[in-house]
């Protein structure tokens, strides 16, 4: 009887160990964008990642979410910090000291379907050591990951190019507006001086 109990217990353990959870579902799955490599291999073997941590949680509205946190290698962090420093006012409302950024993570979130047989890509973003976060273009970022590209400037430009362009145009217009205001003040001052000279003469 004891042997039978041990066999049943062993079967139960093997059964549940063989049944992958939500994390395995995502790691072993593929995206329609590119089905030549699993999501897990694409992220974990991306040359930019120093390490990848997988976790899962339930969202506020009850959805099952799987998250992968890719810790960006130090040599790639510098590109992100330079881009952020140069364009921060156009791409974020936060004002942070970039010297306080210790680690940078790229976070990926996937929502699990109700029947637990499929998943969707929900979010891709940069986490600047919890000081600030930047939402990235999801599919565009994954294209670079599938290519195993380490050009993070291209990923950032792909997401923020429009915002940065508009921001720079706004800066130029502001500069022109200030220059025009200065010219008008100079003109008013000169007219006042001429008016004073005219009054002195008559």
The ranges assigned to domains in the chain are 21-201
Tens of pLDDT, residues 160-169: 875 544 444 3
117-to-111, 121, 174 alpha-carbon distances in Å: 11, 14, 53
Determine the Cα–Cα distance for residues 158 and 168; give it in Å rounded to an integer: 16
Least confident of 17-21, 83-87, 127-131: 17-21
Q: pTM of the full predicted structure? A: 0.70
Question: In the prediction, which pLDDT does 93 show?
Answer: 77
- Count the residues in the chain: 202
Q: Are 64 and 22 in contact (CB under 8 A)?
A: yes
Asked if residue 30 has pLDDT above 80, the reply is yes
* Alpha carbon separation from 161 to 13, 80, 200 (Å, rounded): 52, 14, 58
pLDDT at 91: 79
Q: What is the mean pLDDT of the chain?
A: 80
**Residues contacting residue 53 through CB under 8 Å, at least 6 positions apart:** 68, 69, 71
158 sits in the region (left: phi over 0; alpha: psi -120 to 50; else beta) called alpha
Element (H, E) at 93: none
Query: CA 51, CA 73: separation in Å to the nearest integer?
Result: 8
For 32, the token pair is 């329609």
Please give the pLDDT value at position 145. Answer: 95
Q: How confident is the model at residue 180 (pLDDT cuts 50, 70, 90)?
A: low
Under DSSP, the state recorded for 200 is: H
The 10s digit of each residue's pLDDT in 75-127 is: 999 989 998 888 888 878 778 888 889 999 999 999 999 987 899 999 999 99
Per the CB < 8 A criterion, the answer to whether 48 and 150 are in contact is yes
pLDDT at position 128: 93
At 197 the pLDDT is: 73
Residue 117: half-sphere exposure toward Cβ, Cα within 13 Å = 1
DSSP-derived 3-state class of residue 155: helix
Cα separation, 41 vs 52, in Å, equals 11
Residue ranges of alpha helices (H) inside 111-150 are 138-146
How confident is residue 199, by pLDDT bands cut at 50, 70 and 90? confident
- Strand ordering across the sheet containing 119-127: 49-58, 64-72, 105-112, 119-127, 133-135
Cα-atom radius of gyration of the chain, to the nearest Å?
28
Residue 193 has pLDDT above 60, yes or no: yes
């Amino acid at each position: 009887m004891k042997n039978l109990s041990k066999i049943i217990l062993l079967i139960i353990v093997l059964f549940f160990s063989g049944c992958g959870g939500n994390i395995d579902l995502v790691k072993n799955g593929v995206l329609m964008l590119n089905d030549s490599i699993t999501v897990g291999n694409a992220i974990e073997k991306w040359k930019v990642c120093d390490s990848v941590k997988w976790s899962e949680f339930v969202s506020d509205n009850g959805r099952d979410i799987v998250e992968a946190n890719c810790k960006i290698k130090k040599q790639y962090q510098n590109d992100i910090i330079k881009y952020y420093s140069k364009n921060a006012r156009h791409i974020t409302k936060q004002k942070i000291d970039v010297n306080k950024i210790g680690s940078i993570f790229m976070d990926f979130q996937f929502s699990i379907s109700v029947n637990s047989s499929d998943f969707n890509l929900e979010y891709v973003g940069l986490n600047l050591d919890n000081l600030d976060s930047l939402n990235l273009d999801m599919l565009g970022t994954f294209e670079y990951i599938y290519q195993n590209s380490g050009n993070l400037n291209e990923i950032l430009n792909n997401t923020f190019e429009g915002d940065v362009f508009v921001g720079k145009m706004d800066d130029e217009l502001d500069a022109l507006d200030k220059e025009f205001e200065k010219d008008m003040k100079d003109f008013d001052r000169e007219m006042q001086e001429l008016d004073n000279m005219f009054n002195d003469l008559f």
